[in-house]
Structure 1
Amino acid sequence: MPRSKEQFEEMRNATRKKIHSAAMQLFAHQGFGLTNVQDIADTAGVSIGLLYRHYKTKDQLFNELVAYAVEGLKRNITFFESDQSPRMLLAQFVDEVYTDMINGEELAHLLILINQSLLAGAATASEHYEEILQVNAKLLDSTAELIRKGQQLGEFYSGDAQEMASLFYASIQGLAQMKVLLKSNFTMPSPSLLTAFLLKERK
């Protein structure tokens, strides 16, 4: 019995997901330059011909992954700019980061991927380089504004909100690098430790 259009689309999506996962893993562990298309196909468990049916070049695949990561950053900005309690928003965000980091490698890989695309410049991420710079700056600013609101409400410790936001993201980025490097020896700090310099203890 021939497959339906929906079944073909389901198979196509499953293949792309395997390719995405393999590419993120390899780019994070050995870098864009040292990863070739055959490596990605082998890790994904697909033929190189099938991979080329989905992506014509390694750069196209890399750019799609970066675009996916950028959309995630944009969602975080929208989340932080909502009218809910600053304490609740930050605590929920950190809980999600913690859960993602202990349950898999995708978040760590995505964070490293964004970092790689910025360090490599337009050479490997020409489609998204400027956008990543703008979105990263916007995320830092929206987080700093969230911290200021929390400080005004007495929920956050005092201090320069921009500096505190920078330290917050540097911690998460560093933990992503450590997770990839240390593998099973990595221990993710608790949400309360990640926010210890930001959130005051409830009385």
Structure 2
Amino acid sequence: MPRTKEQFEEMRNATRAKIQSAAMQLFAQQGFGMTNVQEIADKAGISIGLLYRHYKTKDELFHELAEFAAAGLARVAERFQSDESPSVLMKGFVQEIYEDMVSGDDLANLMILMSQSFHSIGDTNDGQNGVVTVNKNLIMATSKLIKRGQELDEFAAGDSYEMAMFFFSFIQGLAEMKVKMKDDFVMPSPSILTAFLFSKGG
């Protein structure tokens, strides 16, 4: 019985997901420059010809993954601008990070890929500039959230921008350690991740 259009679309999406997952792991572990298309195809369990039917170049695949990660960061920045309690927003976000980091490697791989996107591809690349903008927006949104939390006496005192930079540098470092250390990595608890914010015991 011939496959339906919907079945073909499901197969296509499943193949793209395999390619993306394989590429994300290899880019994080080896770097963009050290990863070749054949390795991605092998890890995805498909032929290189099939990979090229979905992505014309390795750069195209990398950009799609970077854009996916950037869209996730943009959603976080938007969430931080809501009127909800800053402490509730931050605790919820940190809990999600913790659960994602202990359940698998996808978040860590995406964060490393975002870092690579700053320097792996040409300085004038529009996609790269978009990633830089998204990161800046996220830091600013987090800084404003912390500032609002301080005004509400939910967070400890300090320079809110410096605290936002510290927080995301901390998470980025943990992502890199998770990928490199593998089974020896231990994810700090949410209370440790937010200790600098809740030093008053909030």
TM band (smaller chain): over 0.9
Could you say which residue in structure 1 is the equivalent of 2:142? Answer: 143
- In structure 1, distance between residues paired with 2:153 and 2:121: 40
TM-score by length of 2: 0.97
Question: Which is richer in helix?
Answer: 1
4+ aligned runs moved over 3 Å, structure 1: none
- In structure 1, distance between residues paired with 2:63 and 2:173: 23
Could you say which residue in structure 1 is the equivalent of 2:16? Answer: 16
Deviations 1:20-77 (A, max 9, x none): 0000000000001110000000000011111000001101100110110110011011
- C-alpha displacement of 1:201: 1.9
Amino acid across the alignment from 2:2? P
Number of aligned residue pairs: 201
Is the contact made by 1:63 and 1:127 (CA closer than 8 Å) also made in structure 2?
no
The alignment-based identity, stated in percent, is: 58
**What RMSD in Å do the two structures reach over aligned CA positions?**
1.1
**1:190 pairs with 2:189:** yes
Aligned counterparts, 1:1-203, within 5 A:
1-122=1-122, 126-199=125-198, 200-202=200-202
| Structure 1, gaps ≥5 residues long | none
- In structure 1, distance between residues paired with 2:53 and 2:119: 29
Amino acid across the alignment from 1:129? Q
TM-score by length of 1: 0.96
Amino acid across the alignment from 1:82? S
Is the contact made by 2:23 and 2:40 (CA closer than 8 Å) also made in structure 1?
yes
- C-alpha displacement of 1:120: 2.7
- C-alpha displacement of 1:129: 1.1
- In structure 1, distance between residues paired with 2:127 and 2:76: 18
